[in-house]
Chains A and B, each alone.
Chain A
Amino acid sequence: DAGITQSPRHKVTETGTPVTLRCHQTENHRYMYWYRQDPGHGLRLIHYSYGVKDTDKGEVSDGYSVSRSKTEDFLLTLESATSSQTSVYFCAISESQSGYGYTFGSGTRLTVV
């Protein structure tokens, strides 16, 4: 989607290695989110950010950390990748927490072997 990009789009990594996914926005939105999508589970919130250096945990935060050192970038790190973290990861942005809805990136397909 225009205004939000995720990188890389695809990645294969080995168990036990650290992995960082990047979300970049050009909309100057305050709120940024990381979700993972798995069959039968829909989208589940990993972490979110409500400003520079302000982050909080979501439903499935174990094994993940995030950082936001500037408004436009929100990084998701898998500290030591496991096969259970094989998933599609989506970043989203919003102007507010509620009524505006989210704009999603195109996703990162991560495979941990």
Chain B
Amino acid sequence: AQSVTQLGSHVSVSEGALVLLRCNYSSSVPPYLFWYVQYPNQGLQLLLKYTSAATLVKGINGFEAEFKKSETSFHLTKPSAHMSDAAEYFCAVSPNQAGTALIFGKGTTLSVSS
């Protein structure tokens, strides 16, 4: 069965520091992978997605993620954190099979301090 593991339920960084949110997946077929962001009291917004084209994917708000098949990882990074990046981040996998839906990780809350 497909699954997603987000390492670290809470990550704290200082403003201007590197942001690294970790995601590992398991999938028996080549997956599609996604990162979503959720700001307080809002729905989820798509940050970026990997759909088997370039392995380095750039998203909105300066975020990017790299698909590494050998490590079954899809970590999310941003070179310099802003206060406005404080939110909850979800990694999700779509196994690209009929009759399936996105499977989400449990989420990582990012805190940014000044």
Taking beta carbons and an 8 Å cutoff, which residues of A are in contact with B? 1, 33, 35, 40-45, 48, 56, 58, 90, 92, 97-99, 101-107
B12 close to A (CB within 8 Å): no
Bound complex: CA A45 to CA B101 (Å): 8
Q: Specify which chain A residues have a CB less than 8 angstroms from the CB of B49 in the assembled complex.
A: 99, 101
Bound complex: CA A43 to CA B4 (Å): 12
Q: Are B102 and A102 in contact (CB under 8 A)?
A: yes
Closest to B53 in A: A99
Q: Main SS of chain B's interface residues?
A: loop
Specify which of B36, B96, B106 is in contact with A40 (CB 8 Å cutoff): B106
Count of chain B residues with a beta carbon within 8 Å of a chain A beta carbon: 26
Task: Indicate whether A1 sits within 8 Å of B90 (C-beta atoms), given known contacts A97-B100, A98-B96.
Answer: no
Closest CB in chain B relative to A90 CB, distance in Å: 6
B56 close to A (CB within 8 Å): no
Q: Are A42 and B94 in contact (CB under 8 A)?
A: no
Q: Specify which chain A residues have a CB less than 8 angstroms from the CB of B44 in the assembled complex.
A: 43, 90, 92, 102, 104
- The total of Cβ contacts below 8 Å across the A-B interface reads 61
Taking beta carbons and an 8 Å cutoff, which residues of B are in contact with A? 9, 32, 34, 36, 41-46, 49, 51, 90, 94-96, 98-107
Q: List 30 A-B contacts (CB under 8 A).
A: A1-B43, A1-B45, A35-B104, A41-B106, A42-B106, A42-B107, A43-B44, A44-B104, A45-B102, A45-B103, A48-B101, A90-B44, A92-B44, A97-B98, A97-B101, A98-B32, A98-B95, A98-B96, A98-B100, A99-B32, A99-B51, A101-B46, A101-B49, A101-B102, A104-B36, A104-B43, A104-B44, A106-B43, A107-B41, A107-B42
